[in-house]
Amino acid sequence: MCTHFVVLVIAAAATLGLSSAQDRADLTGVWKLNVDQTTTASQGAATDRPSYGDRRVPLGGGPAGMGGVGHGPATAGGYSGGRADPEDLAKAREGLRLAMLTPERLTIVRKGNAYVVTDANGTSHTLTADGKTTSSEAGALTVETKSKWDGPVLVVERKFEGGVKSTDRYTVSGNPRRLVIASKVQSTKIPGDRERTFHRVYDLQ
């Protein structure tokens, strides 16, 4: 009787695990940015606009690059008149730029429990959905990344050197499939900086 009960528990757990895995979004494919559906990043009364491809789009009067968004002089982002260390501010601005990159195309391939994400420039990073923190290099900064599943949503948390934190939620829905990456980004080093929210939308090619 006891053995039979244990077998039933194991079978139920296996079924639940299989069901959970089946509910997870299929992120694989070649995805093209839908510019019309992709939103800007709001920060209180200010608006930070992600840039596309390799174009440089101003943010608070400053330049951006590599298809992302960057901050300009110390009057941008709400830290005018602050006494933060210039090197810390430079790292924070670079972290914001990296966190808000909006590639025109993404290629996502699954390898076991991980996804390899490659942009149009050939730059790749790996998201391993095991809830463990990994360290890597992003541009000139070190970034810690933790990925895990929240039901059908892949949640990716990143902490950039320089005090920038971001959370990206990857979801796929519709027929044909559409990838939406909903993001929150904030710097802890820039005085007065507030959370930015935006989402990138990609259509399956």
pLDDT tens across the length of the chain (205 residues)? 555 544 343 444 443 344 456 689 999 999 999 999 999 877 533 334 454 554 433 333 333 333 333 333 333 344 444 566 899 999 999 999 999 999 999 999 999 989 999 999 999 999 999 999 999 999 899 999 999 999 999 999 999 999 999 999 999 999 999 999 999 999 998 888 899 999 999 999 9
97 within a domain of the structure (yes/no): yes
Classify residue 15: in a domain, yes or no.
no
Give domain status of residue 59, yes or no.
yes
**Res 44: pLDDT:** 39
Token digits of residue 125: 């990073």
Structure tokens at 19: 């069901």
Domain that holds residue 198: 26-204
Asked, for residue 30, whether it belongs to a domain, the answer is: yes
| Half-sphere exposure at residue 121, Cβ-oriented, CA atoms within 13 angstroms | 13
| Per-residue confidence (pLDDT) for residue 83, from 0 to 100 | 67
Position 143 scores a pLDDT of: 97
- The CATH number covering residue 123 comes to 2.40.128.20
Range 135-155 burial, b when 16+ CB lie within 10 A, else e: eeebbebebebbbebeeebbb
37 found inside a domain: yes
**17 domain residue, yes or no:** no
- Residue 1 in any domain: the answer is no
Look at residue 22 in the predicted model and tell me its pLDDT.
67
Determine phi and psi for 99, rounding to 5 degrees: -65, -25
Structural domain count, the chain: 1
182, part of any domain: yes
Q: What is the pLDDT of residue 201?
A: 98
What are the Cα distances from residue 59, in Å, to 47, 50, 136?
8, 9, 26
* Closest to 177 measured CA to CA, from 25, 64, 55, 75: 25
